[in-house]
Every structure is written in structure tokens, then in C-alpha cells.
Amino acid sequence: MDKNRVYVFDTTLRDGEQVPGCQLTTVEKIIVAKKLEALGVDIIEAGFPISSPGDFQSVVEISKAVTEPVICALTRANTTDIDAAAEALRFAKRKRIHTGIGSSDIHIKHKFNSTREQIVERAVAAVKYARKFTDDVEFFAEDAGRADNAFLAQMIEAVIAAGATTVNIPDTNGYCLPDQYGAKIKYLVDHVSNIDKAIISVHCHNDLGLATANTIAGVMNGARQVECTINGIGERAGNTSLEEVAMILKTHHGLGYHTNINAKGIYDISTLVEKMMRMPVQANKAIVGRNAFAHSSGIHQDGVLKHRENYEILNPEDVGINSNSIILTARSGRHALKHHLERLGYKMDKINLDEVYQRFLEMADNKKEISDADLQQLMGDGDDKNYGDKAIKVTLLQVVCGDPLRPMATVKLRINGEDREASAAGNGPVNATINAIHAIIKDDIELDEFSIQAMHGGSEDVSKVNMRVKHNGQSFYGFGYSTDIVNASVHAYVDALNKIY
Ligand SMILES: CC(=O)SCCNC(=O)CCNC(=O)[C@H](O)C(C)(C)COP(=O)(O)OP(=O)(O)OC[C@H]1O[C@@H](n2cnc3c(N)ncnc32)[C@H](O)[C@@H]1OP(=O)(O)O
Ligand SMILES: CC(C)C(=O)C(=O)O
């Protein structure tokens, strides 16, 4: 057995789904479960079958749809819940029943009105009963974070003797400090005589913002299963976030631990869960937040452009983020501005950077973020005067459209002093216009991105059109503006053509 292998147990579909507003349909749960499988999680907690017929059915369907990870179902420490879990898991290739009961004195007294001795008896009985259905039984000692360590060790020893193969030590209320939690795990390693017969699992909540730190402390003290959710969703302040733990263990590879997580799939599943559960990821969330790899101040931007690792300990591409991390704001410097101008295809030897920078600052003082379209406007794009006599110019544009008319466009272009005209139909006026331009240009150009935006709002407004076209595998950007959206579009397209030719 590999002693440094850390098993990832995902509970997005159980603890994550308990959150108000995050409920998913069975079909949505199957989509998430398939993504978790592709991500490489070892165990998927698919639900709590006794809680509702819908949750029961989801566990049934996930068990059928997902074959690689172990499928786990949660129960309380009673036979009815365990029967329901066993029934829901009947199609699972590899199944786990996760049963348990409170372990802190506060739960024992105020939830169960019971005694330590009776609770251990119930725990042992539940594990033995669950073992009738599967060899893979996990026991959770709820509120272990606040439980007395000596009693916890006694309880854990008893459930392992009864057949538990994984023992989960949850910090249910997110109470512990990392040192305390790490010491608790170490205490169990040192005081539970049969601990080598089970894997210790850590399940931490984030009430004090310590879920990830506690999970790592648990691993460093002997736990080899981590219970997490995508984006850290879960009861109250959430659970340990899977992406944080996976990337901590990967980044600090010197610790020697490893998981089966395919980190490149992290961003994809994060956005899927965010959308499906309608639970927005905060912008500054580690690893997957919108700003996690966004550099906005000049000194940082300059540093990143010179050498990414000056300000990035992770490569965004390693978690599947493929975006430009240099955000232009009034705090940006010339290096960042130059970087974006070059990216948009401007030739820096033809530009007075100091002069453009001053105009950029004036614009940036009035706007939070400067977009590509803003930069293009700043550079006077969409104005064919920029390209001198050789520019392709639009000398005529006529468009007919309506309902039920078929959109038709006639375009005349002046190319090297010669006028050339063509007409074409399309599925809309812009498409018809671009088809007419293609009929003149006859080159392999593909419209890759098209966005249209009002400058200020209102029907009398000027529209800004941004286009990205592909030619010979290279991208070119075009920008146009006009009160007429078709005119703005044709100018954006011709602007891109002028950059190509
Ligand atoms: C820490 C966690 O995240 S645990 C998982 C939390 N998830 C959920 O609760 C899932 C959604 N829950 C439900 O659908 C419902 O609460 C059900 C179906 C589980 C239970 O519903 P009900 O039978 O109506 O009970 P209710 O929820 O009101 O109370 C919980 C009962 O379970 C008991 N209980 C709680 N935890 C456990 C446990 N681990 N083992 C045994 N009994 C338990 C409580 O003591 C209480 O019993 P009581 O009625 O004898 O006092
Ligand atoms: C059911 C258990 C593992 C739990 O969710 C908790 O204690 O937080």
C-alpha cells in the first residue's frame, strides 16, 4: 500500500447539496458525478437515501452511471437508514455505506439525551449492520472536533473492531485550530490500537475559515482520506474545498503526498457546480475565483510579465484556466499596456507609448477596467485612415432585411484604388454583409468572436462591435463603432481585414 496516497472523497452531492438553493435534479447530479469521475476523485458521496425519494433515486442513478469511483451513501446510525442506503446502492460497482453518530458530549447529551456508553453501543451496532451489505463501511464520529480525545479513541477502536474500514473524524462545526485538529488525529494514531485496520478521514467545516488548514493538518498527522466539496460549498460557511487541498498537496510536493486528481479539470467542474447550484464563487476565492490569477497593479503586472513566477505560485493553466491575467486599470503601468497592445496586434515601433499611456490613464480614471474594445477605441481603430492609402475602405453598404424578407446585403470595397462590389444573402443582416465581403475578398477568413455593445445605453446610442477573425491560424481583432449596428459590424470586419493585409 502506498502510504503517501491521499484519497479524495467528494461530498458536493451530499453535504454541498444540503445548502439552501443548491438542490439539483437527478440528471444534474449525474452530470456532476461524471465530471467528478473524470476529475479523478476516489469516492463520491452521492446522497442520503433515507432523506427523500428524490435523493434515494439520485443515488440509484449515479450508481448506474458512474463506474470508476466508489459510490457512497450517508446514513444515521439506525437500521432503517442503512437499509435504504444499501437498497439505493444496489447497482454500484463499488459501494460504501457511511454511517455514524455524534461523539461530543454536547451532542450526546443535548441531541441524543444519552450516555457515552449507549452511543458507542449504537455506533458499533450500526457498523455491524452496515457490514452485512458491503465490506466498505465508513464511520463518522459527528462533532469529533469538540469531542474528548480519550473517549473518541475508545469509540473509534470499537467501530474498527466492528468492521469500519474508514473512520471519519469530522470537525462538524469548524471549531478546531489546525494545531488542535492535527493533534487530535495524531492522538488517534497513537492511542487506537487497531488504527492500522482503517483509513482515517478528515471532514472539516469552514466556520472560522480553517477548513482547508485543518484538513492539511489532519493529513500531516496521519489522515489519508480528505472529504471535500467543489468550491467549498456545504452547510453554513461550507466544507473544505477540493481544489484548495488538491493544489496544496501538488504545490508542496516536498511533503510527499499525492492524490489522483487531474488538476486541469478543476476550473471546468468549478464553473459547472457554480452554475448548476446557483452559488457564485467569490472573486477572491483561492484557485477558482475570478481574481485568483488576475494581476491589477503596475508593479505586480510588470513582475509577472518579466517572469510569471514573480507573483504566481501556481500556473493557472495547471487548473484549466486559460485566461489573460493582466487586468488593465488606472493602477497599471506601461509594461501592462504594451503587453495588451501587442496582444491585439499593434506594432509597438509605430506607437508613442508615453503618449498612449497618458490617454490610457485618463480613460482608466473614469472606468474600473479597460477592455480590449476600450483600447481599440483609444487607438482610433475602426478608422481606416490609420492604414493609409493601402487600406481597404467601405464605399457602399446597402442592407435589406425584415420579416418575412430574406436579409440581403450589397457591399462595395475599395482595394488598392479599385472598387469591387458583391451582394449576398445571409441569416441576418450582419451575416449577409460578411458573406458579401467574402464574395469580394475570396480568402479563408473565419469569424471567431463577435460582440456588440452599447456605449452608454439607450436606443440612440453608439454601438461598439468587437470581432476576432482567424486567418492562416492567426487571430486578428477588428473594432468598429456607429449608431447603425450593421455599419459598426462591417467596419469592425474591415478593420480586421486591414490588420491581416
Ligand atoms: C452533520 C451532517 O451534515 S449530518 C447530515 C445532515 N443531512 C440531513 O439532515 C439530510 C436531510 N435530512 C432529512 O431529510 C431528515 O432530517 C431525515 C429524513 C434524515 C430525518 O427526518 P426525521 O425523522 O423527521 O427527524 P428530524 O430530522 O426531525 O430529527 C433527526 C432525528 O435523527 C436523530 N439523529 C440525528 N443524527 C443521528 C445519527 N447520526 N444517528 C442516529 N440518529 C440520529 C436525532 O436525534 C433525531 O431523532 P429524535 O427524533 O429521536 O430526536
Ligand atoms: C455526516 C458528517 C460526516 C458531516 O457531514 C459532519 O459531521 O459535518
Q: Is 231 annotated for ligand binding?
A: no
Atom number of ligand 1 nearest to Cα 170: 1
Dist. CA 180–CA 309, nearest whole Å: 34
Q: What is the pLDDT of residue 324?
A: 66
The answer to whether the CB of 446 falls within 8 A of the CB of 468 is no
Question: Nearest Cα to 159, choosing from 129, 204, 203, 182?
Answer: 129
Dist. CA 4–CA 414, nearest whole Å: 69
The residue ranges of every structural domain in the chain are 7-276, 298-378, 384-500
Which ligand is nearest to the Cα of residue 171, counting in written order?
Answer: 2
Residue among 14, 22, 48 whose CB has most ligand 1 atoms within 8 A, to mutate: 48
- DSSP structure string for 92-143: -SSEEEEEEEE-SHHHHHHTT---HHHHHHHHHHHHHHHHTT-S-EEEEEET
Q: What is the pTM of this model?
A: 0.78
CB distance 15 to ligand 2 below 6 Å? yes
Supply the ipTM of this predicted assembly: 0.97
Q: Is 203 annotated for ligand binding?
A: yes
Q: What is the pLDDT of residue 501?
A: 83
Amino acid 185 reads: I
**CA 339–ligand 2 middle distance (angstroms):** 48
CB distance 91 to ligand 1 below 6 Å? no
Exposed / middle / buried, residue 480 (Cβ in 10 Å: 0-12, 13-18, 19+) = buried
Number of neighbouring beta carbons within 10 Å of residue 334: 15
Q: What is the pLDDT of residue 448?
A: 86
Question: Nearest Cα to 163, choosing from 112, 246, 76, 99?
Answer: 99
Phi-psi region of 209 (alpha: psi -120 to 50; beta: other; left: phi over 0): left
Written as tens digits, the pLDDT of the chain (501 aa) is: 789 999 999 999 999 999 988 999 999 999 999 999 999 999 999 999 999 999 999 999 999 999 999 999 999 999 999 999 999 999 999 999 999 999 999 999 999 999 999 999 999 999 999 999 999 999 999 999 999 999 999 999 999 999 999 999 999 999 999 999 999 999 999 999 999 999 999 999 999 999 999 999 999 999 999 999 999 999 999 999 999 999 999 999 999 999 999 999 999 999 999 999 989 999 999 999 988 998 888 899 889 889 989 988 999 999 999 766 788 999 999 999 999 998 888 888 888 999 999 989 988 887 778 888 788 878 876 555 556 666 788 999 999 988 888 999 999 999 988 899 999 999 999 999 999 999 999 999 999 888 887 765 566 666 778 888 999 988 888 888 777 889 889 989 998 998 888
List for the chain the helix, strand, coil content (%; round to 5): 45, 20, 35
- Fold entry, domain 7-276: TIM Barrel (3.20.20)
Domains 7-276 and 384-500 share a fold: no
Model confidence over 278-292: pLDDT tens digits?
A: 899 999 999 999 889
Exposed / middle / buried, residue 395 (Cβ in 10 Å: 0-12, 13-18, 19+) = exposed
The answer to whether the CB of 334 falls within 8 A of the CB of 302 is no
- Taking CA atoms only, the protein residue closest to ligand 2 atom 4 is 172
3-state per-residue secondary structure call for 450-469 = EEEEECCCCCCCCEEEEEEE
Q: What is the pLDDT of residue 294?
A: 87
Measured on CA atoms in the order 265, 271, 277, 280, is the torsion positive or negative?
positive
Class of domain 384-500: alpha beta
The answer to whether the CB of 138 falls within 8 A of the CB of 168 is yes
- Taking CA atoms only, the protein residue closest to ligand 2 atom 3 is 140
Dist. CA 139–CA 146, nearest whole Å: 17
**CA 115–ligand 1 middle distance (angstroms):** 18
Q: Is 239 annotated for ligand binding?
A: yes
Dist. CA 289–CA 282, nearest whole Å: 6
Dist. CA 405–CA 407, nearest whole Å: 6
Atom number of ligand 1 nearest to Cα 172: 1
Q: What is the pLDDT of residue 85?
A: 98
